[in-house]
Amino acid sequence: MALSLRGGRNSESRPSIPTASTGDIAFLILIFFMSTSMFAKEKGLKIVLPEKGEATKIKAENILTVAVNPTGQVLVGDQVVNIPDVRELIVKRLAENKELAIALRVSRRAPYNTMIQVFDELKLAKAERISLMPVLTEEATGAP
């Protein structure tokens, strides 16, 4: 026995755990995870809703109503504006009055896409205080 071990010294056979396949195993798991999972692509426009019954009093002169009517027309104050021009107008109004809060009042029949485009413009104009006015009945879409 001892002799045969001594003879084996020539080929230098040390005991070892075979590690050649760990890479293959790991890649198998990797492919499994790659095929079963997907990157979360959650992104969007953030807003914090006001709490129910928590009415913050804002002076009437500090409120600017931006309205979208059922045909998708946009009114800033009582002036009809094209959507790409909203940003410029809001920036101008914000420069005049830093306290300005914007009330976004969108008709129930207006397309959601139009509302998002207007909301995007408000965000791009760096408007901090935006609130979404709930319109419960269709009669309420006009000027306040």
Partner 1 sequence: MRKIAGKKHTAPDIPTASTGDIAFLLIIFFLVGTTFRAGQGLKVVLPEAQSTERILKRRNVQSIWVDKTGRISVNDNLVAASGVTSILSEKVIDNPDVVVVLQADRDVSYGYVTDVLEALKDARALKVTFATGYRMGGGG
Residues interacting with partner 1, by CB under 8 A? 10-12, 19-20, 22-23, 25-27, 29-30, 33-34, 36-40, 42-52, 68, 83-84, 87, 106-117, 119-121, 123-124, 132, 134-135
How far is it, in rounded angstroms, from Cα 137 to Cα 129?
24
Tokens of 75: 């009114």
Closer Cβ to partner 1, 33 or 59, answer by number: 33
In the complex, the smallest distance separating the C-beta of residue 98 from partner 1, rounded to whole angstroms, is 20
Closer Cβ to partner 1, 70 or 77, answer by number: 70
In the complex, the smallest distance separating the C-beta of residue 10 from partner 1, rounded to whole angstroms, is 7
Distances (CA, A) of 113 to 7, 12, 45, 83, 109: 83, 74, 13, 11, 12
In the complex, the smallest distance separating the C-beta of residue 61 from partner 1, rounded to whole angstroms, is 26
Within the chain, what is the greatest distance between any pair of CA atoms? 104
Which residues have CB under 8 Å from 79's CB, separation 6+? none
- Residue listed under structure tokens 């205080």: 129
Closer Cβ to partner 1, 35 or 59, answer by number: 35
In the complex, the smallest distance separating the C-beta of residue 54 from partner 1, rounded to whole angstroms, is 10
